[in-house]
Amino acid sequence: MTLLETEGLEKSFGAVQALDHPDISVQRGEIVGLIGPNGAGKSTFFNALTGVDPPDAGTVWFDGEDITGLSPDRVARRGLVRTFQQTREIGTMTVIDNIRLGGTDRPGERTVPALINGERTREREAEVTTRATELLEFFDLDHMADSYASSLSGGQRKLLEIARALMLEPELFVLDEPLAGVNPTLGQSITEYIGRLNDDGMTFVIIEHDIEALRGLVDRLVVMHQGRVLAEGDPEDILSNDRVVDAYLGDMVAEAPE
């Protein structure tokens, strides 16, 4: 059944049209890879989905509901969770606190329960801490639990961002270049984690440049180019599709020095 569907999305930045009706739909349980040359509009697409930068026109349907233009926090609370291309860890908080921040339904986040600090509040905090610790272990970050997030390496920050987002128990997890700047071994672990989570029912849309890494992971590839969907389908078919290769090559030629 369709979990996510976009229709007629448009977005311009001045004279540049970043989104031009990239109609995409994602089924529950899929792992969809979103690829395309630089400037194709992939991150803009994510921003439009998640309320970070709402589209000028068009609709986003999530789990049967029109979520177009909802603020990022409301989108996240509905189960559509994202990570950012450039990690946004809270550098002034510890790793474990960063992850705990993703915890949901914490009474302690509301004024009166925070002041009273009753049993329910404290119980939930303990639950959140337990879950956060589990995720820390899952991602092999537990030895850094009490370090400030600013002291993590680039790859560790990526893991932290994913772990933190997982606290929200997403239905649809959209990741923006989770493997960028990450060494191959760690990258392998990440794809394995994604595979495991998918086995447990989580749906994914992943933007990536490292197409090799996506090959064995995704069920379907969607290629974006100039704000539109250029092609979509089985990874092997897509990657031997001439138009797709041209799109990438075209940009590579354009970028090559004279």
Partner 1 sequence: MSDRLFETLGRLRVVFDHPGLVGAGVFVFGLVLLLSPLQPEIPGGTQAILQVALLFLVYGLLVTGVNLQYGFTGLVNFGHVAFFAVGAYAAGMLTASDPFAGIGLGLHWTVGLLGAILAAALLGALVGASTLRLRDDFLAIATIATAEIVHDVLIGFESVTGGNVGLLDISQPVYDLANGDADTGLIVTLVLYLGVLLAVFALLTRLTSAAYGDVLRAIRSDELATQALGKSVFSYKMQVFVYGTALAGLAGGLWALALGAISPGMFTIDVTITLYIAMYIGGIGTHRGALLGLFLIVGLRLFTRFLNGVVPLTQTQFASGRLVLIGLILIFIIRFRPQGLLGDAKELGLDS
- Cβ proximity to partner 1, 146 vs 192, nearer residue: 146
Q: Which CB atom, from 23 or from 109, has the smaller least distance to partner 1?
A: 109
Residue 168 in tokens: 């929200």
Instruction: Using the minimum distance from each CB to partner 1, give the nearer residue, 47 or 203.
Output: 47
Site for partner 1 in 124-143 (CB under 8 A): 125
Tell me the C-alpha distance between 45 and 13, whole Å: 13
Measured from the CB atom, is 202 or 231 closer to partner 1? 202
Beta carbon of residue 180, minimum distance to partner 1 (angstroms, whole number): 18
Residues 42-71 that bind partner 1 (CB under 8 A): 50, 52, 71
Is 90 among the residues that bind partner 1 (CB under 8 A)?
A: yes
Which tokens go with 240?
Answer: 């031997």
What is the size of the binding site for partner 1 (CB under 8 A)?
Answer: 40
> Residue 196: which residues within 8 A CB-CB, separation 6 or more?
none
Nearer to partner 1, 173 or 221 (CB): 173
Structure tokens, 46: 């994510």
Please answer whether residues 16 and 31 qualify as being in contact, where contact means their C-beta atoms are separated by less than 8 angstroms. Answer: no
Q: In whole angstroms, what is the distance from residue 223 CA to residue 248 CA? A: 10
Rg (C-alpha) for the chain, rounded Å, is 19
Give me the residue label for tokens 């930068």. 53
| Contact window for partner 1 (CB under 8 A) among 83-91, 135-143, 183-191, 239-247 | 83-91
Contacts of 54 (CB under 8 A, 6+ apart): 48, 68, 69
Helix (H, G, I), strand (E, B) or coil at 28: coil
Nearer to partner 1, 125 or 219 (CB): 125
Q: Which residues contact 178 (CB under 8 A, 6 or more apart)?
A: 83, 158, 162, 190, 194, 206, 208
The only residue of 29, 39, 72, 181 in contact with partner 1, by rule CB under 8 A: 72
Residue 110 makes contact with partner 1 by CB under 8 A: yes
Should residue 252 be labelled a site residue for partner 1 when binding is judged by CB under 8 A?
A: no
165-224 positions binding partner 1, by CB under 8 A: 165, 167-168
Binding site for partner 1 (CB under 8 A): 50, 52, 71-74, 76-77, 81-82, 84, 88-93, 97, 100-104, 106, 108-111, 113-115, 117, 121, 125, 148, 150, 164-165, 167-168
